[in-house]
Amino acid sequence: MKIRTDFVTNSSSSSFICEICKYETSGYDMSLSEAGMVCCENGHIFCEEHLLLPSRDELIKRAKKRNKIDNSHVRFLSDLDILYTWIIENGSHYDIPQEYCPICQMTCCTETDMLKYLLKEAHLDEEAILKTWKKRFGNYDKLKEYLLEKKDES
């Protein structure tokens, strides 16, 4: 049995946030796999369940190719077993190839990327935005009001 105390000074608390659904989990010395998350080769961190996995047939084919499973196993495997077989096949929860990452495949995007893109397209930076806000809204309450306004009201 593993006993952990909260008083050990060298244990560190780690936390992981899914960049796709914003699910957050934390624990002492928690690893990415314990958090149920993966990290793609571009550094995107997200829940295992968001992985863009190949079809069940394709996963089985690949696992067979590497002699990890044979025909007698296949019919007993659930989709979840196959998912884990695949993650183990990949070697780790890190450096997941881009083809399995929804962010890399542009089926969804992060707020950070969206913000960076919009700033670049609009030729804006933090300084310019703050200057505009001060001139246009004067105080934070007015800005908040504007941001909460529905699009079609003006």
Assigned token pair, 87: 């993650």
Pick one of 18, 45, 60, 87: the residue that binds Zn ion (CB under 5 A).
18
Angle in degrees, CA 11, 33, 22, rounded to 5? 90
Helices 79-90 & 56-65, crossing angle to 10 degrees?
50
21 binds Zn ion (CB under 5 A): yes
Pick one of 17, 30, 32, 47: the residue that binds Zn ion (CB under 5 A).
47
109 binds Zn ion (CB under 5 A): no
Site residues for Zn ion, 85-104, by CB under 5 A, read 101, 103-104
What whole-number distance in Å separates Cα of residue 25 and Cα of residue 35? 6
122 binds Zn ion (CB under 5 A): no
Pick one of 38, 39, 40, 69: the residue that binds Zn ion (CB under 5 A).
40
Select from 47-55, 57-65, 85-93, 125-133 the region that touches Zn ion (CB under 5 A): 47-55
44 binds Zn ion (CB under 5 A): yes
Distances (CA, A) of 94 to 24, 34, 40, 83, 141: 18, 13, 6, 15, 43
What whole-number distance in Å separates Cα of residue 40 and Cα of residue 103? 9
In the complex, the residues that contact Zn ion under the rule CB under 5 A are 18, 20-21, 23, 40, 42, 44, 47, 101, 103-104
